[in-house]
Amino acid sequence: MLQPGTHAPEFVLPDHTGKDVELSTLLADGPLILYFYPADFTPGCTREACTIRDMFTDLRAVGLQVAGISPQDTASHARFRKEQRLPFTLLSDEDKVAIKMYDVDGPFGVGVRRATFLINQDRTIQDAVLADVLISRHAEFLEKRSC
């Protein structure tokens, strides 16, 4: 996993509508909470996404953008976003390009590690948390930023 103080690699991935989105575009309006998650519609990932959804207004109030990345296709992301009423961007990384750049590929290349990064507008990683099953650690990470 990339560590705080390192430069966040640029990427271009399709969002839930199929439109290509660059990291620099996500950072245009302020720092970014970028989170990686294993899969749409799984219990843990749904809980994590809904936690972020419920904190979204507070995160935006302090100027933070939010985007999630997982290897599902854009159609899956569109359904997940609609069913869970997610107000933020979901990016599809089917080939695990960004997942590998951010060093959150699962053990032996299987799956994706659950990781959350706070990236400044200059693309410096300010902070990060890795907690595969302890979803509450990600919520605590976000709560500290939304105050």
Average pLDDT over residues 89-103: 97
3-state secondary structure of 27: coil
Q: Where are the domains of the chain?
A: 20-145
Alpha-carbon span 72 to 57, nearest angstrom: 26
**pLDDT level of residue 133 (50, 70, 90 thresholds):** low
Say yes or no to pLDDT of 147 above 60. no
Residue among 8, 1, 13, 19 nearest 95 (CA): 13
pLDDT at site 94 = 97
| 113/25 Cα distance (integer angstroms) | 24
Mean pLDDT over 105-132 rounds to 90
Residue 135 has pLDDT above 70, yes or no: no
- pLDDT at position 122 is 96
Chain segment 17-32, per-residue pLDDT in tens: 999 999 999 999 999 9
Amino acid 145: pLDDT: 67
Marked catalytic residue, from 23, 26, 45, 112: 45
Name the DSSP letter for residue 134.
-
Pick among 2.40.30.10, 3.30.530.20, 3.40.30.10, 3.40.47.10: CATH of 20-145:
3.40.30.10
| Residue 25: predicted pLDDT | 97
Q: Catalytic site residue 45?
A: yes
Whole-model pTM: value is 0.91
pLDDT at 107: 82
Mean local confidence (pLDDT), 85-101: 97
Q: What is the pLDDT of residues 29-75, one digit of tens each?
A: 999 999 999 999 999 899 999 999 999 999 999 999 999 999 999 99
